Amino acid sequence: MDQISVNGGARLAGEVRVAGAKNSALKLMAAALLAPGRTVITNVPRITDIAIMAQVLDRLGCTVDFVDEPGPDGTPSPVREVVIDVPETLGTEADYDLVRRLRASIAVLGPLLARCGYVRVAHPGGDAIGSRGLDMHVAGLARMGADITGEHGFVIASAAGGLRGATIWLDFPSVGATENLLMAAVLAKGVTEIDNAAREPEIVDICAMLTAMGARIEGAGTSTLRIEGVAELRPVVHATIGDRIVAGTWAYGAAMTRGDVTVTGIDPAYLEIALDKLRTAGCEVTTSQDHFRVRMDERPRSVDVVTLPYPGFATDLLPMAIGLAAVSEGASLVTENIFDGRFMFVNEMARLGAEIKTDGHHAVVRGRERLSGAPVRATDIRAGAGLVIAGLCAEGVTEVGHVHHIDRGYPNFVADLRALGVEVHRSAAPPDVIG
């Protein structure tokens, strides 16, 4: 395992371009299963999760190729094209050895059931940030006529007569459940209505791709999706939207380090509340159609944050919100409403000198002028990036271990840090850091 080492006292300054959204590209790859033929997805981030999803599709009988372009300085570009050739006859089992490494692979459940009438998918893995059951996926598919059982760690679903349209109410606007039910509904007989659906930009992106494939979808971006099933879909070429979480990471990094960063390749509207919090903290934030700039000259002011489903403050940005609070003037209350294990990384922040007290899904953070460099360990994708950024606000050197988590969500993370003026090194971690 590798570690990333940063020297404290750095100020992020410059321009950085974000690649396509991880949380969109993975589901777009799954959606390709709905149409035999050659689908091309562009602006896909060069991250390990994409490679794992490619293996999942390969095991199902697809041929997956990557088209790479060199970056401006000769290094690999952070984005690539994914070319997926989908056969007429697909495999129907997603193996545990891959699915356990990538929770997003559960997104093949809906497309395979719609195409094949049968699917056997292992219970997913992914980040250790709390319980994320499949109850809403299963209940929604059952309302569409699927017979679903579970055995030996697998979800087994069948719909011999085909799926049929239904009215489905989600108890919570789950992104994963919305995506699976949406992809199943596009080939179901009749009309499906999903109420209390997730509204994330990534949902809108998948709706745009499915519509281009021939699906009939109304209400993308609202809490009610209406899908009229069609007999078949066609392959397409589709560009992934920019990654709002990566963009938000750089925005909060600029605020924490009293820097000046322009982030391109992203619609700032995706980050409206997150950027508004930065304004409240004292940042100068300017936006345009496809980029924004965050400038901070003074120590940030404390600001309270509550994570909520989109368009609320994204749970994936919670580590950055806590990092900002840790170096702000005053005390901040940070409330996590999505994942019960999101605060797992707080102990690592405390090793950097952050003063944090948690109580259930609340954290009170009292800011300090400077943190203190120390060896820490990434517990998930966003916590890993947040710890590196926090290390920039610490005296001395911070070594972040288990950075394979960061590789799952941030293409060219170290190169981007260097381009923004950070002295950063990546190396093999010694045994005491690996833990």
Which pLDDT score is estimated for 177? Answer: 95
List 351's β-bridge partners, or say none.
none
What phi and psi, each to the nearest 5 degrees, are found at residue 194?
A: -110, 110
Question: CA-based Rg of the chain, rounded to a whole angstrom?
Answer: 22
- Secondary structure of residue 125 in the 3-state scheme: coil
The one-letter code for the residue type at 50 is I
Q: How many residues does the chain have?
A: 435
Q: Are 109 and 119 in contact (CB under 8 A)?
A: yes
pLDDT of residue 435: 37
Give CB contacts under 8 A, 24+ apart, made by 139-144.
139/168, 140/166, 140/168, 140/170, 140/177, 140/180, 140/181, 140/194, 141/109, 141/110, 141/113, 141/180, 141/181, 141/184, 143/167, 143/168, 144/168, 144/181, 144/184, 144/185, 144/188, 144/192
The predicted pLDDT at position 431 comes to 60
Of 196, 191, 113, which Cα lies nearest the Cα of 158?
113
| Pair type for strands 291-295 and 260-264 | antiparallel
Confidence of residue 155 (pLDDT cuts 50, 70, 90): confident
Residue ranges of domains in the chain, CATH in brackets: 2-15+244-434 (3.65.10.10), 24-157 (3.65.10.10)
Contact 366, 379 (CB under 8 A): no
In DSSP terms, 174 is beta-bridged to: none
What separation in angstroms does the CA of 335 have from each of 89, 226, 307, 309, 343?
Answer: 47, 33, 6, 13, 10
Q: Within 87-174, where are the H helices?
A: 96-99, 109-116, 135-143
* Catalytic residue set: 127
- Asked if residue 23 belongs to a known ligand binding site, the reply is yes
- Residue 130 pLDDT grade (very low, low, confident, very high; cuts 50, 70, 90): very low
What are the helix and strand counts (H, E) for the chain?
A: 15, 26
Strand partners, 371: 394
- Phi and psi at residue 293, to the nearest 5°: -130, 135
Q: For residues 349 and 77, which has the higher predicted lDDT (pLDDT)?
A: 349
Q: What is the DSSP string of 174-211?
A: -HHHHHHHHHHHTTSBSEEEEET----HHHHHHHHHHH
Check the annotation: does 316 bind a ligand: yes
Mean pLDDT computed over every residue of the chain = 93
Question: What distance in Å separates the CA atoms of residue 227 and residue 34, rounded to the nearest whole number?
Answer: 15
Helix axes 48-59, 22-31, angle to 10 degrees: 10
246 exposure class (CB count in 10 Å sphere: 0-12, 13-18, 19+): buried
Burial of 75 from C-beta contacts in 10 A (0-12 / 13-18 / 19+): exposed
β-bridge pairing 154-158 and 147-151: antiparallel
Specify the pTM.
Answer: 0.94
Give CA–CA dist 321/323, Å, rounded.
Answer: 5
State the pLDDT at residue 21: 97
Per-residue pLDDT, 123? 77
> Does 340 have pLDDT greater than 90?
no
Interval 196-249: pLDDT, tens? 999 999 999 999 999 999 999 999 999 999 999 999 999 999 999 999 999 999
Do the beta carbons of residue 98 and residue 70 sit within 8 Å?
no
